[in-house]
């Protein structure tokens, strides 16, 4: 547990006003919006949320009984949809970091989603490369920022790049995220940690350094879309109800590693006890009940919902069961009210009970839409009805290039 977690996380969500006035430069502006995806929402000024025990609020998942479509898109699995309890359960041991990770994921509420297909894994480097080759698409990180979007920024700082996890070589206080995050010139999906890095031999790794617009562009090209937050959570639970993890009750059942997370001392040492220090190829750990890989850890995943910390309370206040919720009409983060943010889910290889426990299913992340990082990717979905229409009309669905076991 981090004893000063409240203060530390607030500092991650917003820099002091004097610092913003003093350092109106591109590097800090972009970095500030990126870090929100991997930290806990602890702002005292946020909407009221339920922080008490949520275990009793969960009811069984009731899956749809209608049959799946006769054929399945390559690399995808059928998610039956149905009725489930959405939100975060109490973490095992009720640890402080885990409890704080649930704050914007309460109250637990009942939701219904229609059936859909979802990619077995995150979109890989090979798949994204195929998209870029076919379309000539240039990602946000590869574009030079425009001066009008960053008024006051020195011209020398208007350079293409992205945010990279850059851990120190020694322990540091966890109250200053700039000690392990930095804006790196030339970082993009081809060079995830900067110009000296590349993705050669990493075709089966999840593509990272993708902003929301990049993920959305890929999905449109593939004849698919990004999942809603409700669809993502229904799929991640794999038919289970009220469990803290995608796979069940224990973080390491029978001593087995179930996801790529951070071991060692955060942020300076990842010992790789789970088999990987840093990012891993897709599908290296057991699939969940629906056959989906990496729904916890490895890389965060974009969803299509705007982020609001009070959205679940809004749904409960509306009464009844939410059916196919699409998220709020607009984004609002009380810590950065002028930053449009989308919900991110699943956590990453940086998640640890020392700092961020968002590998707990039901917990929520958030990210500014124009910012990618080297621990953020996505996967796609397509409805059964759309797939059948496209299949009957012989319209290609190109999201996954080859089947995956």
Q: Is the pLDDT of residue 108 over 60?
A: yes
Q: Is the pLDDT of residue 52 over 70?
A: no
User: What values do phi and psi take at 182, rounded to 5?
Assistant: -150, 155
Token pair for 334? 């009380």
350 to 210, 259, 277, 353: CA distances (angstroms): 17, 11, 10, 10
Largest Cα–Cα separation, the chain: 60
Instruction: Average the pLDDT over 50-76 and give the result.
Output: 82
Work out the percent of the chain whose per-residue pLDDT is above 90. 67
Q: Check residue 150 and give its pLDDT.
A: 76
Sorting pLDDT into bands at 50, 70 and 90, what band is 96? low
- Give the pTM: 0.86
Q: Check residue 399 and give its pLDDT.
A: 59
Sorting pLDDT into bands at 50, 70 and 90, what band is 155? confident
Q: What is the pLDDT of residues 280-291, one digit of tens each?
A: 999 999 999 999
Instruction: Average the pLDDT over 194-222 and give the result.
Output: 98
Q: Indicate the CATH number of 5-392 among 3.90.1580.10, 3.50.50.60, 3.30.428.10, 3.40.50.2300.
A: 3.90.1580.10
Which stretch of DSSP H or E encloses residue 325? none
Instruction: Average the pLDDT over 348-376 and give the result.
Output: 93
Q: Is the pLDDT of residue 151 over 60?
A: yes
Q: What is the pLDDT of residues 251-271, one digit of tens each?
A: 999 999 999 999 999 989 999
Q: Check residue 9 and give its pLDDT.
A: 40
Q: Check residue 95 and give its pLDDT.
A: 60
């Amino acid at each position: 547990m981090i004893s000063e977690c409240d203060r530390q996380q607030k500092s991650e969500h917003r820099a002091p006003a004097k610092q913003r006035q003093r350092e109106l430069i591109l590097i800090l502006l972009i970095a500030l919006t990126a870090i929100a995806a991997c930290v806990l929402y602890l702002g005292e000024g946020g909407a009221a949320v339920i922080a008490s025990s949520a275990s009793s609020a969960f009811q069984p998942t009731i899956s749809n009984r209608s049959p799946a479509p006769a054929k399945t898109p390559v690399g995808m699995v059928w998610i039956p949809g149905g009725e489930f309890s959405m939100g975060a359960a109490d973490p095992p041991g009720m640890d402080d970091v885990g409890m704080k990770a649930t704050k914007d994921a309460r109250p637990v509420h009942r939701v219904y989603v229609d059936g859909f297909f979802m990619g077995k894994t995150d979109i890989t480097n090979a798949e994204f490369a195929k998209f870029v080759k076919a379309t000539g698409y240039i990602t946000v990180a590869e574009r030079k920022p425009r001066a009008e979007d960053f008024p006051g920024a020195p011209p020398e700082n208007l350079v293409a790049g992205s945010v990279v996890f850059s851990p120190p070589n020694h322990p540091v206080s966890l109250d200053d995220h700039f000690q392990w995050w930095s804006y790196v010139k030339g970082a993009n999906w081809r060079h995830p940690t900067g110009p000296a890095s590349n993705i050669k031999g990493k075709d089966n790794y999840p593509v990272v350094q993708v902003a929301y617009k990049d993920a959305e562009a890929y999905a449109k090209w593939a004849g698919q879309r990004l999942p809603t937050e409700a669809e993502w959570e229904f799929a991640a639970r794999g038919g289970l109800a009220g469990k803290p993890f995608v796979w069940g009750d224990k973080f390491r059942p029978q001593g087995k590693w179930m996801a790529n997370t951070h071991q060692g001392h955060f942020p300076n040492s990842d010992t790789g006890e789970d088999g990987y220090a840093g990012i891993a190829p897709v599908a290296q750990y057991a699939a969940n009940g629906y056959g989906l890989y990496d729904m916890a850890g490895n890389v965060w995943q974009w969803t299509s919902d705007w982020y609001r910390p009070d959205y679940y309370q809004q749904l409960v206040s509306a009464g009844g069961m939410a059916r196919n919720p699409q998220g709020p009409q607009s984004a609002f983060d009380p810590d950065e009210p002028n930053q449009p943010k989308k919900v991110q889910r699943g956590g990453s290889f940086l998640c640890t009970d020392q700092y961020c426990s968002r590998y707990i299913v039901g917990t929520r992340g958030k990210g500014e839409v124009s910012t990618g990082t080297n621990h953020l990717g996505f996967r796609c979905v397509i409805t059964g009805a759309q797939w059948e229409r496209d299949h009957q009309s012989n319209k290609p669905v190109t999201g996954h290039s080859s089947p995956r076991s």
